[in-house]
Amino acid sequence: MTESTSTKPISVWLVEDNRHFSEAIECIFESEDGINLKESFRSAEAVLKALAKKTPPQVIILDLGLPGMSGIEAIPEILQHAPKCHVLVLTTDDGRSKVLAAIANGAAGYLLKGDDLDAIVSGIRDVVDGRAAINSRVSRMILDIFRKIPKPPPEAKLTSRESEILCLLADGKIKKEVADQLGISYYTVDTHVKRIYKKLQVNNLSGAIARMTQSGGE
């Protein structure tokens, strides 16, 4: 598992309507150091009401197949209430349309309920540390979309190096790993990332992935 840059436990809320799965997650996190599961909700409406009254957590783990408002619809609403919160999707649906819609709406990560505990815990820490936590099968699908893009969309004007770096980040690598793989410095990678965000007019990695997959995923 990756190490978080924060020494304090990561505050987490869970939005999951399956009681048995929710209780299992709650039980697991009770014994997980560095993760503090503070609240659990059964619907998107319930978590939005809580966000209007309480201090937001660092991470909200969100199912997509919720009663009432769907998880897809809830993501932008959550981020409007808590723009610094990281929404980590945890669902059974790995369909292309759902994945792209979740990322486009601002999800910081996309994991599946079949993933093991280490992947879920690592995913929480990854999104807090600025990485995109994405299930390996979902990641391969996103990368396949990237490969089908003949060139960056005209409005993006990404260089080939910037496209390469964005692709590696979408695959779950951190900046240091990208630097090592490409034989360049961390500072150079960081500079490229800042330029990518500026060109795509986004503020984070999930936004950049969404812009590129939307451009090439139709």
| CA pair distance 98, 107, nearest whole angstrom | 11
In a domain, 2, yes or no: no
For residue 39, what are the contacts with CB-CB under 8 A and spacing of at least 6?
13, 14, 47, 50, 54, 57
Do 34 and 123 lie in one domain? The reply is yes
| CA pair distance 63, 111, nearest whole angstrom | 10
| CA pair distance 141, 124, nearest whole angstrom | 21
Do 111 and 163 lie in one domain? The reply is no
Do 74 and 109 lie in one domain? The reply is yes
Do 48 and 152 lie in one domain? The reply is no
Do 99 and 150 lie in one domain? The reply is no
Write the single-letter amino acid at 67: P
In a domain, 1, yes or no: no
Choose the final residue of a domain: 114, 134, 154: 134
Q: So what's the pLDDT on residue 151?
A: 52
Do 96 and 162 lie in one domain? The reply is no
- Given a contact cutoff of 8 angstroms between Cβ atoms, the answer to whether 79 and 85 are in contact is yes
Select from 22, 86, 78, 90 the least CA-distant residue to 50.
78
Bridge partners for 87 per DSSP: 60
Residue 90: φ, ψ to 5°:
-135, 105
Which domain CATH number covers 66?
3.40.50.2300
Which domain CATH number covers 148?
1.10.10.10
The tokens describing 99, both together, are: 């994945």
Per the structure, how many domains does the chain have? 2
Do 58 and 124 lie in one domain? The reply is yes
Do 125 and 149 lie in one domain? The reply is no
Task: Tell me the pLDDT of the chain (218 aa) as tens digits.
Answer: 444 444 689 999 999 999 999 988 888 888 888 899 999 999 999 999 999 999 999 999 999 999 999 999 999 999 999 999 999 999 998 888 888 888 888 899 999 998 888 889 989 998 998 887 888 888 888 777 766 655 555 556 788 888 888 888 877 778 888 899 999 998 999 999 989 888 888 777 777 877 776 655 44
Choose the final residue of a domain: 134, 169, 185: 134
In a domain, 15, yes or no: yes
| CA pair distance 127, 59, nearest whole angstrom | 8
Do 180 and 162 lie in one domain? The reply is yes
Q: So what's the pLDDT on residue 69?
A: 93
The tokens describing 59, both together, are: 């991470």
Q: So what's the pLDDT on residue 200?
A: 83
Residue 103: φ, ψ to 5°:
-65, -40
Do 162 and 128 lie in one domain? The reply is no
Write the single-letter amino acid at 30: E
Do 96 and 150 lie in one domain? The reply is no
Do 169 and 209 lie in one domain? The reply is yes
**Full residue range of the structural domain in which residue 189 is found:** 140-216
